[in-house]
Amino acid sequence: MQCLIIDDLISAEGKINHPRVAEFYEAYVQRQRAAGRPVLEPRDWPPYARGAAYDFLFKLLGENIRRGGRTSLPVLLDLAMIPRPSSMSPERVSDLLRFLTRADNAPKTWERLSRFDDSVDAVTELLATERRVSRAYLNILKGNLAEVFSMPEQLRTLVRIKETHPDAVLLAGVRIIDPSSGASRLFSDNIIARWRSNGNLEVLSVFEIKSGYRGGGEAQEQIFEWIEGRIEEGFQLHLPRDARYYDIPRGQGTSAIVTRNMSDDIEVLVDNADQTAQMGRGWTYVYDPAGHQSGPRVISLVSSDRQVITASGASQMGLNPSLGVAQGSNIVELGISSAELDFLAGQLFLAR
């Protein structure tokens, strides 16, 4: 039996996607924080696990627990064996592939896969000769496709919110920083926010997009983990200088979208001289509900809308999006199924 590799336990968003392993990791995080020690990222932690956690991981990973996810032999999927769902005509497949590879969508479609293009390892060779690719690569690409297909729904939400908040924009690339460890990771799959006159960032809506593994359920867990479960006073929401924002002139439809870099338009977006003069590496907003700290804060983080956008139906690759969503979240289906995303991802890899 071929063992998994570490990458197989990590989702495209950098979270552990195996429930038991996630429990072990969370216990590790709590111990490290209680002792005031740094916390390793999920992908870096397995070789340093101890006790029952290490024993369980070794059963899953074997010697790959020491080699890591990039140097060991990956679990491979035969792309030619991914069936075309009966719901997809050849014409629809062609239309969707053209849409995904269009100039404005291609960067997002292939995001986090630059290593694939540059690699000369066994993964690339097997794709060229045997039409197989690692499951980790397929999961990343499938997640990217879901994000591309979700953008119209995110923009419709932006149009609705701008009816009451004309200065709202859709922000991509937002990160969250844990001040106790300095660890930084993506906060969500985009947020809608606006700047107050005092320079505070008001969050109006938070998006999570899921393409496969437990779909809406996993998205809800990620929202709960950050917003309700683990965000504490002092956490920081960070907008890197290269973060993107999307805007739509009031009264116009989603076709009038404007896409820009934060650093290009900070003076327009933020009517606060102190912030616009201090670009540095980006802009940071402290979560401080009681207002104890000075400087710009992020507000309405817990009370903002939560939008879960997920594919529908069962995945041909065995990744099923169960849609159990807790109260307080809105769930929207993409209009494309998880099985269809499987097939499109496979076709895109075969066309490389």
DSSP annotation of 82: S
What distance in Å separates the CA atoms of residue 137 and residue 272, rounded to the nearest whole number? 42
Element (H, E) at 174: none
Closest CA relative to residue 8, chosen from 67, 85, 52, 84: 67
Closest CA relative to residue 68, chosen from 7, 142, 124: 7
Instruction: Tell me the average pLDDT across 175-204.
Output: 84
State how beta strands 244-247 and 191-195 pair.
unpaired
* 3-state DSSP assignment of residue 282: strand
64 C-beta neighbours (distance < 10 Å), count? 24
pTM assigned to the model: 0.67
Tokens linked to 14: 């950098």
What distance in Å separates the CA atoms of residue 17 and residue 221, rounded to the nearest whole number? 11
Q: According to the model, what pLDDT value does residue 95 have?
A: 95
What distance in Å separates the CA atoms of residue 224 and residue 205, rounded to the nearest whole number? 14
Q: According to the model, what pLDDT value does residue 205 have?
A: 92
Closest CA relative to residue 174, chosen from 96, 97, 235, 92: 235
> Where are the alpha helices (H) located in 203-272, listed in sequence order?
215-223, 262-269
Token match 């590879």: residue? 101
Residue 247 falls in which region: left (phi positive, over 0), alpha (psi -120 to 50) or beta? beta
Tokens linked to 42: 């999920």
DSSP annotation of 173: S
* 291 vs 92, residue with greater confidence: 92
Most confidently modeled range among 58-62, 201-205, 225-229: 201-205
What distance in Å separates the CA atoms of residue 301 and residue 83, rounded to the nearest whole number? 42
Instruction: Indicate the range of 14-18, 282-286, 318-322 predicted with least confidence.
Output: 318-322
In the structure, what pLDDT confidence band is assigned to residue 5 with cuts at 50, 70 and 90? Answer: confident
**The pLDDT of residue 67 is above 80:** no
Query: How many residues does the structure list for the chain?
Result: 352
Instruction: Tell me the average pLDDT across 94-122.
Output: 77
Beta-bridge partners for 77: 133
Tokens linked to 342: 């499987």
Instruction: Tell me the average pLDDT across 75-82.
Output: 78
Tokens linked to 324: 């159990």
What distance in Å separates the CA atoms of residue 147 and residue 321, rounded to the nearest whole number? 15
What distance in Å separates the CA atoms of residue 286 and residue 93, rounded to the nearest whole number? 45
Evaluate the CA torsion angle 331, 334, 340, 341 in order and state its sign. Answer: negative
Tokens linked to 207: 């998006």
Most confidently modeled range among 179-193, 204-218, 330-344: 330-344
What distance in Å separates the CA atoms of residue 330 and residue 351, rounded to the nearest whole number? 36
What distance in Å separates the CA atoms of residue 298 and residue 231, rounded to the nearest whole number? 12
Instruction: Tell me the average pLDDT across 38-54.
Output: 83
* 3-state DSSP assignment of residue 28: helix
What distance in Å separates the CA atoms of residue 97 and residue 207, rounded to the nearest whole number? 24
**Tens-digit pLDDT profile for residues 223-267:** 545 454 457 788 888 888 777 888 887 666 655 566 666 555 555
Q: According to the model, what pLDDT value does residue 175 have?
A: 85
